[in-house]
Structure 1
Amino acid sequence: MDYRYQVFLAVANNLSFTKAAQELYISQPAVTRHIRELENTLGLALFNRKGNRITLTAAGEIVYRFAQKTHVLYDELQYELGTLKQTFSGSLRLGASSTISQYVIPEVIAAFHTRYPDIDVSLINGNSFEMEQKLQENRIDLAMVENYSSKTDLQYVDFSDDEIVVIAGHTCKFGRNANGTLADLQHIPLVVRERGSGTLEVIEQYLKSAGHPLDRLNVILHLGSTEAIKNFLPRFNGIGLVSVNAIHKEIQLNTLKIIPVKGLSIKRKFRFAYPKGPLTGNMKYFVDFVRNYNMTL
């Protein structure tokens, strides 16, 4: 694929020359030069420039649509040729929800890179809803999400198990009673993830089905990441709900503790999401690699 189109996609995805340069590991003047050359070749402006803000022109929207398709086709070409030569290259744009991107998948990506060093892997993160949206917009090739709900135009494949647990700071007074129940949680200050988070969606659905909807609990704060919850709890006389995968280090360091609650068992699956149709190219390599990887979760 013509490198100028790769630069164009990076600028269009970020709507920023600076962010595109950072993503591509080239200078901003180099990004500007590539875009100018592409515009001269096509004879049309691709971006509206208003101060520090840029938007796609009508021509830019058309080029963006076709460049995205070309990018996918080029990766499929690389995959087919790599299969014949037993060499593998191309790119793979991954998106993962916060819990997966921080605590689950980095080790696997490192192992994948060792196995396929010529495949250029990139990873962005956000909540599950945001990753599904970026997948629908063709800004990533493959999403890894932790929510229950599904988009009708996407396919989902499980790749790992997870459990959401009740945690608190080590000195928190709550949890000293080993016979705590779901009903007891209604009176304890609770911190949870933000709206749009797959973790929050799973918690809400579970509690509703258990007869203790979240709006009846004493939720005092929504925080935008699991890290924020973990950093908040040691200084807070209350509890949080997070993935067990996120707290291995804190349990070892004795800064957080898991509080057992009778009748509470929030199990879920981490899943791949991708456009409907067969998995092809580097997406298939990665999905097969992850599903066969021995993750100690």
Structure 2
Amino acid sequence: MDYRDRVFIAVAEHLSFSKAAEHLNISQPAVTKHIKELESRYDIGLFERTGNKVYLTRAGKKVYNAFKQIAAQYRELDFEMSQLHDSVSGEFIIGASSTISQYVIPKTIASFHKRYPKIQIHLINGNSFEMEQLLLNNQVDIALVENNSSQAGISYKRFMDDELIVVTGANSVYAKRKTISKDDLLHFPLVLREQGSGTLDVIKKAFTQQGIAFDSLNTLIHLGSTESIKNFLQDFDGLAIISEKAALSELYMKSLVKLKVTDFSIPRTFRAAFKQGHKSRLVELFETFLFSYNF
């Protein structure tokens, strides 16, 4: 792939000439020169500059999508060529939701790397909606998400089960209750994940199915990660609803207490998401490994 094309991708993804230069370890004037040469090649502006901010033009978006597809084809070619030498190598990018990236997938990636040490894996994390957008924009090759909703242009496959549980801090006034009712959930203070979170999406649907209006919950605050919620609970007289897999260490150490809710549970599945259409051989290799992995 032409180096100027790689420079363009870096600017498009950072939306900054200076950050792209830092990422590529070249000077900012060099970045500017490469972009001007590319704009001259197509005889059209690819970026719109407003003050210190940079935006892709309509033409820039078309070029970006095309270059990402070309980059994926190069990665697939590298993989196929390596197979001819009986030495599997290549590179791909995983986008994973926060819970999966922190508590589920690292061991899988480590095991995959042990088996295929010449394959480079890049892991990007965020909430499920963000990962789906990166997938649609060709910025990741596969997305691992924890939401229940689906987006057009994406196909989904379940790879493991999870459960959302109600927890409270060990020093909370609710820690000795052990069991609570669904009505208690309406009144006790709650801390939940942020909008766009797959966990929050599942929680909303679970309450709707139980005939409970989500807006009627006593939610005091939304936080951007499960880790921040667990830390918040250490000095909060209230509850949280988080992944059981994310709370295993704290439950074992007894810094968090799991509360059973009578006649109420929130099971969910973790899914692998793929952009509909062509799937690279390298992604298929990881997909096969993921679905045979013993979690």
Q: Under a length normalisation based on structure 1, what TM-score does the superposition of the two structures give?
A: 0.89
Give the alignment's Cα RMSD to 1 decimal.
Answer: 2.3
Structure 1 pair 253–3 and aligned structure 2 pair: CA distance change class (3 A) = farther
Distance in 2 separating the partners of 1:233 and 1:178: 16
Is the 1:94–1:122 contact (alpha carbons within 8 Å) kept by the matching residues of 2? yes
Distance in 2 separating the partners of 1:146 and 1:192: 15
Deviation at 1:132, TM superposition (A): 0.9
2:204 counterpart letter in structure 1: E
Question: How does 1:192-231 map onto structure 2 within 5 Å?
Answer: 192-231=192-231
Distance in 2 separating the partners of 1:134 and 1:20: 18
Is the 2:189–2:220 contact (alpha carbons within 8 Å) kept by the matching residues of 1? yes
Structure 1 pair 183–9 and aligned structure 2 pair: CA distance change class (3 A) = same
Structure 1 pair 33–291 and aligned structure 2 pair: CA distance change class (3 A) = farther
Number of the residue aligned with 1:26: 25
Number of the residue aligned with 2:111: 111
Identity %, equivalent residues: 46
Number of the residue aligned with 2:280: 280
Question: How does 1:42-61 map onto structure 2 within 5 Å?
Answer: 46-57=46-57, 59-61=59-61
- Aligned to 1:164, what secondary structure does the other structure show? strand
Q: Aligned pair 1:7/2:7, yes or no?
A: yes
1:148 counterpart letter in structure 2: N
Is the 1:175–1:260 contact (alpha carbons within 8 Å) kept by the matching residues of 2? no
Q: Aligned pair 1:163/2:163, yes or no?
A: yes
Is the 1:79–1:88 contact (alpha carbons within 8 Å) kept by the matching residues of 2? yes
Question: How does 1:63-78 map onto structure 2 within 5 Å?
Answer: 63-78=63-78
Q: Aligned pair 1:125/2:125, yes or no?
A: yes
Is the 2:65–2:137 contact (alpha carbons within 8 Å) kept by the matching residues of 1? no
Q: Aligned pair 1:269/2:269, yes or no?
A: yes
Distance in 1 separating the partners of 2:18 and 2:106: 26
Is the 2:169–2:175 contact (alpha carbons within 8 Å) kept by the matching residues of 1? no
2:88 counterpart letter in structure 1: F
Deviation at 1:277, TM superposition (A): 3.2
Distance in 2 separating the partners of 1:272 and 1:201: 17
Distance in 2 separating the partners of 1:261 and 1:63: 52
Structure 1 pair 33–109 and aligned structure 2 pair: CA distance change class (3 A) = farther
Distance in 2 separating the partners of 1:77 and 1:184: 57
Deviation at 1:82, TM superposition (A): 2.8
2:243 counterpart letter in structure 1: S
Is the 1:97–1:146 contact (alpha carbons within 8 Å) kept by the matching residues of 2? yes
2:147 counterpart letter in structure 1: N
Distance in 2 separating the partners of 1:165 and 1:28: 50
Distance in 2 separating the partners of 1:4 and 1:109: 31
- Aligned to 2:151, what secondary structure does the other structure show? coil
1:157 counterpart letter in structure 2: K
1:221 counterpart letter in structure 2: I
- Aligned to 1:174, what secondary structure does the other structure show? coil
Is the 1:190–1:220 contact (alpha carbons within 8 Å) kept by the matching residues of 2? yes
Number of the residue aligned with 1:139: 139
Q: Under a length normalisation based on structure 2, what TM-score does the superposition of the two structures give?
A: 0.89
Structure 1 pair 37–252 and aligned structure 2 pair: CA distance change class (3 A) = farther
Alignment coverage as a number of residue pairs? 294
Distance in 2 separating the partners of 1:287 and 1:90: 15
Post-superposition CA distance 1:237-260 (Å, at most 9, x none): 000000011112222332211112
Distance in 1 separating the partners of 2:158 and 2:293: 13
Q: Aligned pair 1:255/2:244, yes or no?
A: no
Deviation at 1:98, TM superposition (A): 0.9
Structure 1 pair 61–216 and aligned structure 2 pair: CA distance change class (3 A) = closer
Distance in 2 separating the partners of 1:3 and 1:88: 25
Deviation at 1:152, TM superposition (A): 2.6
Deviation at 1:95, TM superposition (A): 0.9
Structure 1 pair 101–202 and aligned structure 2 pair: CA distance change class (3 A) = same
Number of the residue aligned with 1:97: 97
- Aligned to 1:229, what secondary structure does the other structure show? helix
User: Which structure 1 segments of 5+ residues have no match?
Assistant: none
2:213 counterpart letter in structure 1: P
User: Which structure 2 segments of 5+ residues have no match?
Assistant: none
